[in-house]
Structure 1
C-alpha cells in the first residue's frame, strides 16, 4: 500500500509517488538527454569535417542589404544583429495585429453562430467552414494576389474619414510624431509592464498593499502620450500620399490571412464554450428580467471564458508561428530575412536555425506563460 502524507491545514491525503515511477521518469529524461547529446555531437563532427565551428560572431558583420519595410531604423551598414531586431519587430507587429483582429472577429462570428436569425447563423457558419477547410497559405496568397493587387491607384484610393487610405500601394494610416524622449519612455513603459507583476508576486507584502505599483506604468503612459509632438496624417500629393505611415500590401495580406484563419477557429471555440454553459444560467437571468444580449454579456460569456482561454491560447501560439508564412509573399519577417537573405550571405545554416528556433521558442513561452496566468485568474476556485 502506498505511503500517505497529510498536508498542513488540509485534511486531504496525497499518495507519494512509488519508487518505480520515479525510476521510469529518470530513464525517460536520460534517453532525451542522450538523444540531444547525440544530435549535438553529430552536428559538431560534421562542422569539424568541413573545417568549420559553431560561431555566432557573424552577427556583428555589416548586413549590406536594405529592408523594404521596417518599424525600426535599419540601414545596410548596420550589423546582422540589427537586421535580426528589425525583422523580429516586423514579426511582432503582424502577430500583435493578428491576435487582436482574430479575437474580435472570432468573438463576433461565434456569437453570430448562436443567433436566432437564420441569415446570420448560416452566413457565419458558411464563412467559418470555408476558411477552416482551405489552406492558410492559399488564403494569404489570395489576399495578396486576388484582392490587394486589384485595388485602385493612389488617386482613386478607398478612404475612411480622410485619415485611412487603401490602394494598390498599401494602407496609409496616421502616425504619431515622436518627441525627444519618446523611445526611452516607451522602453521604460514596456519594462515596467514586465517588472510590476513580478514585484507584486514576490514582494513579502500582501497584494493589496502593492496595487500602487500599477501607478508607475500609468504615469509613464501619460508622459509618453504627452511627449508626442502631434500626428502625421497622410495626404495625397501628386501621384502618391505623403505623411503618415504606409502598411505595404504584403503586411496587409499577411495580417488579413492570419486574422481570418484564426478567427474561424476562435469562432468555433466561442460557440462550443457558450453552449457548454448550463441552460439554467440563462433561464435564471431571464427570470430576473435580463434580455438576451445582457444575459450573454453579463452571465454566459464570463462563465464561458473559463473554457475558452486554454483553447484560444493554442490559436494565438499558432498565429505567432504562422507569421513565418509571410516569406511566401516577401513580407520581411524574421524567417524571410534571416533564413533567406542572412543565411545565403553568411552561410551559417546551423547558427541561423538555432537563432530562429530560440526566438520563436522564447516568444511562445512568454505568451503561453502570460495566458496561463490569465487562465488561472478566471478559473473556478474550489475549496
Structure 2
C-alpha cells in the first residue's frame, strides 16, 4: 500500500510539473495584448506591442534596436512580371485590424501544446535524416515519412528568392500528417549543421488543430534539432508588420476549374545589416531573421528550393491519401494543378534574376510530381503536386 501511495505521489508530481511547464510555456508565448480580435475561424489574434513580441525573449536581442524598414530592396522587384497578392487576405481581418506599433500574434491554446510530443518540441518540425535531393534514395527518404515535389538551384551564392504560389486546401488523411507549399533558403550541409529559412502556406491539423490553409514561416540553424520553430513559437524572427499574422488562415482559396488565388513571397538578405527579410505581396514587409541566428546563412545561401512537401505516415502499410498542392498532377495544368511562377533569385549584386540550371526532384513521381517550364508572362515556373495514394501509388 505504501509503495502504491509513493508511486501515486510521484505520478501526480510528474503530472503537476508537466502542467506547470505547459502553463508557463503558454504564458511565455501569449504576450500581453493591446487589443484582441476574434477571427471567424475561431482563432484569437492578439495585438502585442512590437517590443514585447517573443523574439525579444532571446538573450542576444535584449538590447536590439528594431529595424523598421529594410536598408535595401532587391533591384528588379517591381518589374513587368510583378504579381500582386492583395486579393488574398487573412480571415481575422473580417473582424478588425491591429493598431500601429503592434504585431498580430495568433494566440496559443493549451490544446495546441498538448497535441505536440512534448512542450520542448511544440512548434518545431520533427528531426529529419536530411539528404541532398540528388543523392536521396527513396527508401532512405521515406523512413522519415516526408515526401517532396520540388524545383531547386545550387552551385552558387544566393541572397534570396521571390516566387508566386497559388493557394489550395489539400485534404489531410491523418492529424499527424501535413501538406505544405513553400520556398527554402538553405546553407551548410544536409547533416547536423543545415541552416534553413522557409516560408509558404500549409495545412497542419497537428500544429493548428484544424484543416485551414495558413501562412507560415520556419527557420533552423542545426537541421531542425534544437533551434528554430514555426512562426513566432520561439524567439528569433522579428515581426514589424501590424497587418499580417503568422499562422493565420488565408482567404480566399483556389478551386479546381474556377478562380485561382496566389500569394507572392520574397525573402532576401539585406546587404547592409545582414538580416534576412520577408515580404508578403507588394507592400507587406513582415519582418526579418537577424543574421546572428545562422552560421552559413550569415554569409549567403548555397541552395534554393521551391515546391511541396507532405508527411506520409504509411498507416496500415499503405501510402497516405494526403494531397500535395491541389491534389492533382502537374499535367492537369492551369486552373487545376498547383504552381509556382515568376521564380527569381537574388544575386550578389542584390538583383533579382531568373534562376539558372533549375533541377527537379521527387521521391515517388507516381504519388507527387513536378514539371518545370519557361514562358513570357510566367518566367520560370513549374506545376507540382498529386493525390498521394492512387492505382499507381499503392
Same structural fold, with TM-score higher than 0.5 when normalized by the shorter chain: no
Q: TM-score, normalised by structure 2?
A: 0.24
Q: TM-score, normalised by structure 1?
A: 0.24
Higher RCO structure, 1 or 2 (CA under 8 Å, sep 6+): 2
Q: Which one has the largest radius of gyration? A: 1
